[in-house]
Amino acid sequence: MIRLRNISIRHKLVLIIMAGGTVALCIACVAFVLEDLRSFRKTTVEEMETLAGIVAFNCAPAVSIGTAGEAVNILKTLELKTPIDLACVYDREGRIFGKWGREGAYADLPKSLPREDSYEFSGGFLHMFHEIRTEDEKWGVLYIRSELTQLETRWRHYVIITFLILGGSLLVTWRISARLQRIISEPIFSLLESTKTVARNQDYSIRVQAHGEDELGLLVQGFNNMLAQVQARDMALQQAHENLEKTVEERTRELKLEIEEREMAERKLTALHRELLEASRQAGMAEVATGVLHNVGNVLNSVNVSTILIGERLRRSKFANLRKIAALIQEHAGDLNRFVAEDEKGQRLAQYVKDLAAHLDGEQAESLKELNLLTTNIEHIKEIVATQQSYASVSGVVESLPLVDLIEDALRMYVSGFQAKEIIVVREYLDEPIIAADKHRILQIVANLIANAQDSLLEAGRRDGKITLRIAIVGEGRVRLEVSDDGVGIHPDNLTRIFSHGFTTKRDGHGFGLHYGALAAREMGGSLTAESKGENCGATFVLELPLSPPETSRASSVFPETRSEPAGSLDRRSG
């Protein structure tokens, strides 16, 4: 079957036609022969029946009357019919009444007789039985045997004829089909050739000539359509390709330009940002420096006062009296005992020295006290300067410390200012938590908040201004620090804007402090928010911080180095 599949369509067509023809012819021949043999047999039987009928009719008197010779005479007439070679008449008891056989015939008479007219084919003979009767009675049976050599001869002839016809027709069929198969195979071959050419040359402009409107014609048309489509698509593709190349080129150029522009802009932006950052930083430092110097100045006042006081005291000291006593004692060096015991002056001397000592003691205590204050103030100055130094450095070191100390630290930086301006500081420390954080940052935020509150009070022009500091633990592991003042307050429109970079309501402000504070708080995993009922209603700044810093915020800086971001969207932290 596979081999058949691989042979040429030309041979396949011839084979198919031949096979079909052969099968059809064989069926026709076999059917014809079988029908002919059947009809021949039927004819033979009919003929024999007629003959038997006639002979039986003629034999009836002989059998009934009993003239066997006459019966045999009648049987002898069968000699004229070639295939008949044996005939016999039986009486009604089944005994042989008379018989005739062709010379050399095989005289084997049937052993038993059928009850009625019948025939059978057996042993190459047709055996025919016919009743011998008159209208009124049955007298016997006639048996005629007929050879079937004719049938065999006929059969043999048919086989030969069939083969001859088959051979002849196959030859003719082969000749015709070999010629006719071109009707189908030629268009296919031409199509095949075309497809080969198309495949070899990649030439889609080739068209196959269609021969008609049949399936092959449609196939060719379809093939041509396909070629046309492929060609069109090819051209379109080519065009598209060219266009694409052009477009890509253009786009690449554009992109290159764009990228260059963007890079330039970015560089500019980065530089600008850096400048801005630096400016902000310097401004911040300047503010801090101003505050610090102010505070240092204040403390220096106290130092000055203390120094003057000490100087005054030293000037007004009773040391001179001590010298007078010393001179007196020296004067009475020879008779000191007497002087002390007898002289009035001497008698009072002891009391006087005692009083002087007491006075000097008090003087010394006061001086020491003042000196202590002086020392404290100088320490304070040292601290302020140290804090300022710590401001300047970006430490980023997390350490555990009491929040209250931090607040107090911040306050101390402003405490003399408060004293001078008669600002009341109310401390409402509901909890005194230990916080693990970068203390410099918190200090910076809190100092900024306190400075803002102070400025707000100053601006309001109130002499009895009050700043309230509240510490409370809220939620799980979070601490809330509130810095409230009853100063100028914040307009609702500005509640969020105050945290924007460069926004300020102060005449000499630079809009950096709160922006920095909010960012730093966020960096530390906390938040800085503002609340105010409106202008002249005071304001509360709330700093919420975790008691321990979030893991991710460690060692991260507030300002990314290269990129600038809008203030409100620092969710993404660069590390």
Indicate the residue among 98 and 489 with the shorter CB distance to another protein.
98
How far apart are CB 38 and another protein at their closest, in Å?
Answer: 35
Indicate the residue among 64 and 377 with the shorter CB distance to another protein.
64
How far apart are CB 140 and another protein at their closest, in Å?
Answer: 10
Site map for another protein, 120-139, x if CB under 8 A? --------------xxxx--
Indicate the residue among 85 and 91 with the shorter CB distance to another protein.
91
Structure tokens that stand for 148 in this block: 């079937």
What is the distance between the alpha carbons of residues 57 and 51, in angstroms, rounded to a whole number? Answer: 10
C-alpha distance from residue 264 to each of 189, 271, 277 (Å): 68, 10, 19
Angle between helices 215-315 and 439-460 (to 10 degrees): 70
Detail the DSSP E strand segments found in 104-162: 118-122, 125-133, 138-147
User: Which residues, numbered 132-171, are part of the site for another protein (CB under 8 A)?
Assistant: 134-137
Site map for another protein, 22-61, x if CB under 8 A? -----------------------------------xx-xx
DSSP state of 376: H
How far apart are CB 23 and another protein at their closest, in Å?
Answer: 56
Indicate the residue among 32 and 57 with the shorter CB distance to another protein.
57
The sign of the dihedral angle between the CA atoms of 178, 180, 185, 187 is positive
Binding residue count for another protein, defined by CB under 8 A? 18
C-alpha distance from residue 561 to each of 42, 211, 262, 274, 500 (Å): 121, 81, 18, 8, 19
User: Which residues, numbered 61-100, are part of the site for another protein (CB under 8 A)?
Assistant: 61-62, 64-68, 70, 73-74, 91
Indicate the residue among 73 and 390 with the shorter CB distance to another protein.
73
How far apart are CB 91 and another protein at their closest, in Å?
Answer: 6
Buried b (16+ CB within 10 A) or exposed e, 178-197: eeebeebbebeebbeebeee
How far apart are CB 139 and another protein at their closest, in Å?
Answer: 9
How far apart are CB 90 and another protein at their closest, in Å?
Answer: 12
- Longest CA span, the chain: 232
C-alpha distance from residue 104 to each of 69, 90, 107, 347, 554 (Å): 21, 22, 8, 213, 137
Indicate the residue among 73 and 468 with the shorter CB distance to another protein.
73
Indicate the residue among 54 and 322 with the shorter CB distance to another protein.
54
Indicate the residue among 134 and 562 with the shorter CB distance to another protein.
134
CA terminus-to-terminus distance, the chain: 76
How far apart are CB 106 and another protein at their closest, in Å?
Answer: 25
- Residue 252 CA from chain centroid, whole number: 30
Interacting residue ranges for another protein, rule: CB under 8 A: 57-58, 60-62, 64-68, 70, 73-74, 91, 134-137
